[in-house]
A and B are shown apart, each in its own frame.
Chain A
Amino acid sequence: MNTTFRALMGACALAALATGATSETITVATVNNGDMIRMQGLMDDFYAKHPDIEVEWVTLEENVLRQRVTQDVATKGGQFDVMTIGTYEVPIWGERGWLVSLNDLPESYDVDDLLPAIREGLTVDGELYAAPFYGESSMVMYRTDLMEKAGLEMPDAPTWTFIKEAAAAMTDKDNEVYGICLRGKAGWGENMAFLSAMANSYGAKWFDMDWKPQFDSEAWANTLNDYLELMNNYGPPGASGNGFNENLALFQTGKCGMWIDATVAASFVTNPNDSQVADSVGFAQAPDNGLGPRGNWLWAWNLGIPAGTQKVDAAKAFVEWATSKDYTALVASKEGWANVPPGTRQSLYENPEYQSVPFAKMTLESILSADPKNPTVDEVPYVGVQFVAIPEFQGIGTAVGQQFSAALAGQMSAEQALDNAQKLTEREMMKAGYIK
């Protein structure tokens, strides 16, 4: 009995040792969006290819995730082996050496297939610091039935003048139909994402080449005045509290004639299970003013590996799998082409099956028309279309967003909001040492 017991214990110990030696667990921090959740459901494919790697997920809301991973990577906390990060973080973290370079991904990964605009934003001094999982831009989503009723036809690439005309024609406040829905909620990733991109198409910029804030320029005054005119005359009530989700709910319930927002919304508004207007939605590029840049942004969620992790090889294997062409094919085979993570690879848009997805062409055109290194008419010292890739931007962007949101709520004039924005940005940039 004693011998049997001993033998059993020995076998257990050996099994435990063997398991420990062969299996490695990596922790992946990610955002709660449809594409990421879908990936968690397709992990069997990864486990079949990498039986020696276990993946634990930490899914968090975007703002909570950003704070958690920033805290962890900055303090080398080592809580995560793979992090989902945006195009704002990658250049800043890459420059500080907080991320592992991905330049040594195998040839089969075909890094040259990544869309140049996206790849450019993830590269610092020739080193690729994150692999894009899905990319997005912004575009116009509009109600084809209301447009037809108004006797207008939406061009593929409209101007702001046309948008104003169409918003006026589509507005029917008695029936709670508003010509245009735009972001009004304060935040660097909320109203300032939209307004910074809109400002680019008006020739405005955040800073000149000496990092001096430019809110006192005529271009910014024109941008804000036109935005307020659109929203005050043709927008929904209480718009200063509306972000992506609020506008999505308004559009899906038939209360918006047009909505300019993230291309990822296209799959939501055309889904008949959730959207009451699914069969009457059209798409167009974000508007311009004939100056060159359009009012669209560029964003990608990417997978990066923090420099402090002890499991670089396993983390790289996961990143390679999740952002590969094979993964795209896997999603298409299981869930259909409309559910493939968009906006990262050229080959996806060359695929005839994907070309038949209604919003595919417009998404690609929108992504390709944004240039993070030359976002506006004039030359600027920063990278980023709807943000400025410097660490101080989150604080400054949100503070400026609060001024513009207050102007939309009628608490101050556009002039006052711009004046406040100029002063606070100057103060913060001086404090950070960019200007004297």
Chain B
Amino acid sequence: MARSVSTRRKLITTLAAWAIGIAIFFPILWTILTSFKTEAAAIADPPVWFNFHWTLDNYVTVQERSNYFRHFMNSVIISGGSTLLGLIIAVPAAWSMAFVPAKRTKDVLMWMLSTKMLPPVGVLVPIYLLFRDLGLLDTRIGLVIVLTLINLPIIVWMLYTYFKEIPGEILEAARMDGASLRSEIIHVLTPMAIPGMASTVLLNIILAWNEAFWTLNLTAAKAAPLTAFIASYSSPEGLFYAKLSAASTMAIAPILIMGWFSQKQLVRGLTFGAVK
């Protein structure tokens, strides 16, 4: 009896997990399918699923019209650069908050998180003017700085929760053995927090890769990443769904592949600390 309940429960859980998984993945699947349709098939009513004339024309058009590689490289540099810079700042910050907490540490953490609640458009004009005066408009370094600042609260929070899980006694033992602060962080803390740090890095790269407000507003021709590449295929007058889907597929492919290969680390990291 108990066994049949358990099997039924397993079945229901499995079906529910599959249903949720398919529901989440459906928009991506539909985008990929649409990218292989003609514009006429893309707007067909009722929609066509697999029974259509498969074509690579949209990918050819996108390749001809846009410099995909330049946008791709900008995305890699901006998301990679902002993640690296964010990590350099966040590791010492999270270490001090986790192992040497002050009276106001919790308040500081909450304040950092509260900066994420401000609508970005509220500070668009001041930041645009600052960038103009500093010559940072349409530069990759400018975007690396902005995206680092935007994602810093999340990196600090994640690392803080991972570090809190590590027993302070281990670090204490390292100190007693004569380890300096630098060696303590690099040789003792970091190896133990690797799963957490890996998931932080992956999440931050995904957030930076997908960021579309600042990357569209602060770039023009030179530093525009893949978000601007996608935006160039949308139009209020004319059929563009198939070409837009091809551009979107090309833009999400690298991050999708990276996510696929690193899903084990991502899941391990996300279930390691308090972020569960």
Contact = CB atoms under 8 A, between A and B. Distances in A.
A63 B138 CA distance: 20
A280 interface: no
Interface in A34-48: 34, 37, 40
A299 to B, nearest CB: 10
Contacts of B95: none
Nearest to A55: B221
Interface in B186-220: 216-217, 220
Contact of A58 (B44, B128, B220, B235): B220
Interface in B18-57: 38-40, 43-45
Given A27-B220, A40-B65, A58-B224, A71 B128 contact: yes
A314 interface: no
A249 B239 contact: yes
Nearest to B41: A274
A312 to B, nearest CB: 18
B236 A79 contact: no
Contacts of B124: 71
A274 B239 contact: yes
Contacts of B44: 253
A276 B137 CA distance: 46
Given A56-B221, A249-B43, A61 B239 contact: no
B206 to A, nearest CB: 23
Interface string A72-86: 000111111000000
B38 to A, nearest CB: 8
A361 interface: no
State the main secondary structure of chain A at its contact with B.
Answer: mixed
Interface in A225-284: 243-245, 248-249, 252-253, 255, 262, 264-265, 268, 273-276
Interface string B228-263: 100111111111100000000000000000000000
A29 B216 CA distance: 13
B239 A32 contact: no
Contact of B232 (A59, A243, A244, A275): A59
Given A68-B216, A252-B43, A274-B40, A75 B128 contact: yes
A60 interface: yes
Contact of B238 (A33, A58, A79, A276): A33
A68 to B, nearest CB: 7
B39 A274 contact: yes
A245 B236 CA distance: 6
A268 B216 CA distance: 29
Contacts of B128: 71, 75, 77
Interface in B105-158: 124-125, 128-129, 132, 137-138
B52 to A, nearest CB: 14
A49 B220 CA distance: 26
A64 interface: yes
A59 B124 CA distance: 21
A78 B128 CA distance: 11
B129 A75 contact: yes
B162 to A, nearest CB: 38
Nearest to A185: B236
A385 interface: no
B221 A245 contact: no
Nearest to B124: A71
B190 to A, nearest CB: 41
Contacts of A58: 220-221, 224, 228, 232
Interface string B158-199: 000000000000000000000000000000000000000000
Nearest to A190: B236
Looking at A37, A58, A76, A252, the one whose CB has the most chain B CB atoms below 10 A away is A58
A253 B43 contact: yes
Contacts of A63: 236
Nearest to A261: B237
Contacts of A33: 235, 237-238
B129 to A, nearest CB: 6
A79 B217 CA distance: 11
A116 B39 CA distance: 36
A245 B238 CA distance: 6
Contacts of B138: 79
27 contacts: A29-B220, A32-B234, A32-B235, A32-B238, A56-B220, A56-B221, A56-B222, A58-B220, A58-B224, A60-B228, A60-B231, A61-B231, A64-B216, A71-B217, A76-B132, A77-B128, A80-B220, A243-B236, A245-B236, A245-B240, A248-B239, A249-B43, A249-B239, A262-B237, A265-B237, A274-B38, A276-B40
Query: 10 tightest CB-CB pairs across the interface, nearest first?
Result: A56-B221, A61-B234, A59-B232, A249-B43, A79-B220, A32-B235, A274-B40, A62-B236, A27-B221, A58-B220
Given A31-B235, A77-B137, A249-B43, 9 more contacts: A40-B65, A57-B221, A58-B220, A59-B232, A60-B232, A61-B234, A63-B236, A71-B124, A79-B138
